[in-house]
Structure 1
Amino acid sequence: MLVTRKKLFYLKITALFFIFVMAVIFLLPNISSAQVDTGLSYMEDSGLATTDVRVVIARIIKIALGLLGTVAVVIILYGGFVWMTAGGNEDKVAQAKKVLLNGAIGLAIIIFAFSIASFVLNALTGATSVHIGEGGTTVPSESLSTGGLGRIIQSHYPGRDARDVARNTKIVVTFKEPIDASTIIKDGDDEGEEIGDSPSDRILTESVRIVKKGDSLEAGPFVEASAMVMEDQKTFRFKPIKWLGNASQDTEYIIYLSNDILKANGDKAFSQADKCEGMSGAYCWEFTVSTFADTTPPKVTSVFPLADTTVARNAIVQVNFSEAVDPISIKNINIIDIDIAGQDENILKGFHSISNEYKTVEFITNDLCGINSCGQDVFCLPKDINWLATVKSIDPDHVDFPYSGIVDMADNPLDGNGNGVVDYTAKTENTPAETDDYVWEFSTNDTIDLTPPKIEKLIHHNKDESLSDIVSPPLVGEVDVIDNVHLKEPIEIYFSKVMMSSTINNSNIFIGDPRPEIIFEGATEGVPWYGWFYPSSSNISEEIDGQNVSKTCVYFKHAIFYENSGYYPSISSRLKDIYQNCFWQPCKKEAGENPGVNCDIVPGPEVLIPNL
């Protein structure tokens, strides 16, 4: 009778566990079959935990299977104990065999169930989003979290899902607000150096982790890298001590920024809405390193003001490169008054910024000369001056840090004359050093350019890969629905003037709707889109009335849109042209124009709403 009851007990346990596994397999896929991401940010205000429900399920199943596995092992041990203490009693030996058999069958079922559950959960969480077992959590192949670059991340290099990245690359992250460098950088103890100013400084692996995909984010091994920060305390550059990857096959890497990073004011840099697939208050992305090193020097592709032209005083000097350059080296762009002797002592004072995926550097003076129509400060060059602008290459007598010229993300110096090699000669007793600089001249007059930029046309890819032009986009407050937009290809926005690259970012050009009363036809009400998006740009030249006129095209890149959903790309009045005029179409502060719209706080209503 006792044996029969035990059999019934084991049978019930097995049946209940089988029902549980079947529920996981057949019910959870139905719950997850909708192809929209409802996000997790709605939980924040409730004060409850914001952990992804898929991760919670994975943890519950892991604990349950662990407990059952422990029970199975105990049963097997008990069977062995009965056998060893049977003393030749055939009944006890038979009982022990049955216990061992039942324990082995139970353990096999548990292992089989663990395999099935792991497969299903991996499918639900995006293949590699949750690693169940030893070693901690690994990162998914694509994170569709908040805003694509996180709420505080402005940009980073390499980009998300970048391919064919050079082995000798550096890694750069730019934040939207100043960051406490001591929460990212470990001081190398160089005397007289501030934290982040020395190549001996290292990344804090509690805050920044560089790992091969598949390795543990918690245990490593981590890539060792030096760390430096720009003066604005927003842009951090990490240089691996050893080259990434190997010479035989491509290698995938993951960058993880933790919630240990603090703003300069002491607040957490990442909010709970910033997620690294199951880990709140964090940000991560991945890229693939090739088998080759980068030995190609960067070139200058375009400049503003153009060579031998005269521009208004409120112009910004802009230099565009063929590839991303090291932000630590961008101060090697100098503007000098040609007519003043002692040029090295008369370099124009101002501020350098880097943007456009680290391919554009802009120089703006310190001379505050007014405000634009949106109430933003405007800085001017001195009037009626002939200027000599120099983008410096490396001095052959000073090739190491601190950089004496522009270098790219692989430390290749500037190819100023664009012939494919870096031409320089070292200094001798009789001849000075010659460097491969890029040099041009321009002039300023006594005028101020007050013409605001406008959108001339929009171009989007249709779902059949063809292109559609939209001329004369809607004005303030108007809504225009555009159908048949490609779910993946970028949207192109053509402006009437050259734009200030440092204002073309995911804070000023974004996807969202500041007017909650608008409901889009076909959109799923209450379901936000948590895909990444970021704009990049290039300057183009058009011939108008026999003259070449430079303009800017913005490429609005984004994650895959949902089918049959409405989106509202918006452009803020904080977007400026090269003369620091704010974007006209969102709003202006003159009386009678868009009354009640505050340019400084609320981005204006925008240009297009693809109804996909």
Structure 2
Amino acid sequence: MPNVRRQRIFSIAAAALFVVAFFGVFFVSSVSVHAQSELATNLATVNAEVGLGTTDIRIVIARVIRIALGFLGVIAVGLMIYAGFIWMTSGGDPTKIKKAQGIMINAAVGLVIILSSLAITQFILSRLLDATGAGGSGTSRSAAEILTPFSSALGTGIIDTHYPARNQTDLPRNTNIAVTFRREMNPTTIMPAYDSANPELTSALNTDAMRIFFVDVDDLDGDGNTTEEIELSGEQVDVGVTPDNKTFVFNPNVYLGSEEMPVWYTVELTNDIELAGSSESIFRSGAYTWTFQVSTELDLMPPTVESVIPQASTTNARNILVQINYSETINPISAVGHAPTPFTNITLQTVPVGSGSPAGNWLLGNAYRTSEFVAETACGVNSCGETITCLPENVTVNVTAKAAGRVDSDSFEAVFPYSGLVDMAGNRLDGNDNEVPDETDNYSWQFQTNNDIVLTEPRVTALTPPLDGNVPASEIPFDQTVRIGFDSALQVSTVNADNVILRSPSESLWFTNSTTLIDGNPPVHEVTIQHGAFSEDILYGAELDSGLRSVYQNCFTPSRSQSCIGPNCCNEQSSLAQCAYPL
């Protein structure tokens, strides 16, 4: 009988493992199918007619897996308790003791199998996502992350943003990688040959601090090993850093991936990276990793300018900031610095002649897609008691964003060190947007200032998800993007993890911020918070701190929206006290 019982328990555990694995496969299939927009639209149409639930099928399956594992775990624990009871009441009877020991062993083995099933399901998910192409979109990768832990280093922790984004796909083989930290780093821990006397120079990567690698599942090197990690050496990566020692750019001097098929890369940042003036660890869990997919193509096309603030030929209050929005991500090494010297890749000249070039700093925000000039001349105080700065009054300001020098006359490939703006693939700016590399690739415009100073704080105009009691939390998708609309343009360099925060009970959900400029009179910004997958029955919140500023440098104090007048707004309710999460 004990053998029969053992076989029965093993059979039940094996069946459970099969069921979980089956759901894992089905889960992946659902990711691939539901990523198709046409099918999703048709399903939505049918749902509207028949009134079915709208919970994402991937969430349903994840819940089923979790419930099944929990139920089987309860059974295993119950068997342990039952065996213990038999042993305690055996009175020294060898037969009963042997029976109890047998049940304990079988229950322990079953519990190990049950716990292993989740890991095996994870393996199946990750392999099938890559093999079937379901991992080819950020959405499907996010769906798989329902079952994986997230690193809180991005957003909540030390990292403000990075490029490529988590699970980003279809990147060119000549892409650069950039990481922006929330605090100043010690550059020598990332690039050991860093020279503080010549900070503009690049040097080799310290691979103890950062690894860039892929698992050769397709045996691209032909050695028959499909599990090896192929890693870039330190000499294969040129590293540069911005003057504030917060943003590092990693430029592989070899093409990533393969001409034959897309390749998923992993970047790992380790605790060998140190803060400036300190040797303390920068990550809670020892390392931060993310993945991105490289295509089979090179990026040989240049970035262009999409919009600017102030708009051309307009007259503006002199405490306005200057912003340039690009068609794609820009290399921070080419776009950040103090003007008018030593940084000259973007220039401001004022008219009448002799009024000079305003001193200030060019910053790069909005996930590396917006340049922003903050002048140094103090001219007032905002509602937070902070100093605001101004451009000269009653002048015409000529702004020129320069294209970097070319490798040759027929190419947009830029020469390093960069004498102008370049994208993350090393292509110089195409300022006239004619897709021809020529001598007119700079981008210029002019505007005027008066002697006014605007001191109106930004106001929230829209929220997604909305604060609507008629929309239950169960109807909010696990990958719902959080959006906040404003009644004015913002200082994009303040739209960061310090001032726009996604809250969760464990503070373990990664998030990152970006902005979209919406045309209008005046133009306004919408802030987007991308994040890891939400979990059910968890209360999340978004927090806008007073450090968030408008394009006129006015801080978010008092906090205001269309229905709340502050001084603090907590779930659209005015409050004298600061809001505290959870609300």
Q: What TM-score does the superposition give when structure 2 sets the normalisation length?
A: 0.67
Q: Which residue is equivalent to 1:123?
A: 121
Q: Which residue is equivalent to 1:528?
A: 506
Q: Secondary structure at the match of 1:457?
A: strand
Contact 2:513 2:529 in 1 (8 A): yes
Question: Which one-letter code corresponds to 2:432 in the other structure?
Answer: N
Greater shift after overlay, 161-170 or 16-25? 16-25
Contact 1:570 1:606 in 2 (8 A): no
Q: Which residue is equivalent to 2:29?
A: none
Q: What are the residue-to-residue correspondences of 1:158-177 with 2, within 5 Å? A: 158-177=164-183
1:548-575, Cα deviation, whole Å (9 max, x unpaired): 3211112222222223433211111111
Q: Give the count of matched residue pairs.
A: 449
Greater shift after overlay, 177-186 or 527-536? 527-536
Question: Which one-letter code corresponds to 2:200 in the other structure?
Answer: D
* C-alpha separation in 2, matches of 1:389 and 1:528: 46
1:603 deviates by 11
Q: Which residue is equivalent to 2:549?
A: 576
Q: What are the residue-to-residue correspondences of 1:226-265 with 2, within 5 Å? A: 226-265=238-277
Contact 2:176 2:249 in 1 (8 A): yes
Q: Secondary structure at the match of 1:182?
A: helix
Q: Which residue is equivalent to 1:567?
A: 540
From 532, 535, 538, the equivalent of 2:516 is: 538
From 449, 452, 455, the equivalent of 1:444 is: 449
Q: What are the residue-to-residue correspondences of 1:451-462 with 2, within 5 Å? A: 451-460=456-465
Instruction: Verify: 1:156 aligned to 2:162, yes or no.
Output: yes
Runs of at least 5 residues in structure 1 that lack an aligned partner in the other structure: 1-10, 39-112, 130-138, 273-279, 425-434, 461-469, 474-478, 514-526, 543-547
Question: Which one-letter code corresponds to 1:502 in the other structure?
Answer: S
Q: Which residue is equivalent to 1:520?
A: none
1:349 deviates by 1.6
1:167 deviates by 0.5
1:227 deviates by 0.4
Instruction: Verify: 1:363 aligned to 2:373, yes or no.
Output: yes
1:82-113, Cα deviation, whole Å (9 max, x unpaired): xxxxxxxxxxxxxxxxxxxxxxxxxxxxxxx9
Q: What percent identity do the matched residue pairs reach?
A: 33
Question: When you count helix as a share of all residues, which structure comes out higher?
Answer: 2
Contact 1:315 1:580 in 2 (8 A): yes
Contact 1:586 1:605 in 2 (8 A): no
Q: Which entry has the higher C-alpha Rg, 1 or 2?
A: 1
Instruction: Verify: 1:586 aligned to 2:559, yes or no.
Output: yes
Q: Secondary structure at the match of 1:581?
A: coil
From 493, 496, 520, the equivalent of 1:502 is: 493
Q: Which residue is equivalent to 1:511?
A: 502
Q: Which residue is equivalent to 2:86?
A: none
Q: Which residue is equivalent to 1:401?
A: 416
1:157 deviates by 0.4
1:124 deviates by 5.5
* C-alpha separation in 2, matches of 1:333 and 1:170: 21
Runs of at least 5 residues in structure 2 that lack an aligned partner in the other structure: 25-60, 67-110, 128-140, 218-225, 336-342, 409-413, 571-575
* C-alpha separation in 1, matches of 2:490 and 2:470: 26
1:395 deviates by 3.7
* C-alpha separation in 2, matches of 1:195 and 1:397: 23
Contact 1:373 1:582 in 2 (8 A): yes
Q: Which residue is equivalent to 1:416?
A: 431
Contact 2:215 2:227 in 1 (8 A): no
Question: Which one-letter code corresponds to 1:358 in the other structure?
Answer: Y
* C-alpha separation in 2, matches of 1:145 and 1:181: 23
* C-alpha separation in 2, matches of 1:607 and 1:493: 18
Q: Which residue is equivalent to 1:605?
A: 579
Q: Which residue is equivalent to 1:291?
A: 296
Question: Which one-letter code corresponds to 2:120 in the other structure?
Answer: N
1:423 deviates by 2.2
Q: Which residue is equivalent to 1:275?
A: none
* C-alpha separation in 2, matches of 1:480 and 1:118: 41
* C-alpha separation in 2, matches of 1:266 and 1:250: 40
* C-alpha separation in 2, matches of 1:24 and 1:512: 40
Q: Secondary structure at the match of 1:549?
A: coil
1:251 deviates by 0.4
* C-alpha separation in 2, matches of 1:281 and 1:24: 35
* C-alpha separation in 2, matches of 1:456 and 1:571: 13
1:220 deviates by 5.0
Instruction: Verify: 1:485 aligned to 2:472, yes or no.
Output: no
Instruction: Verify: 1:197 aligned to 2:200, yes or no.
Output: yes
1:319-350, Cα deviation, whole Å (9 max, x unpaired): 10000011011141111113225x9xx43221
1:239 deviates by 0.2
Instruction: Verify: 1:208 aligned to 2:210, yes or no.
Output: yes
1:131-186, Cα deviation, whole Å (9 max, x unpaired): xxxxxxxx997552216446010110000000000100000000000000011013
Question: Which one-letter code corresponds to 1:155 in the other structure?
Answer: T
1:281 deviates by 2.0
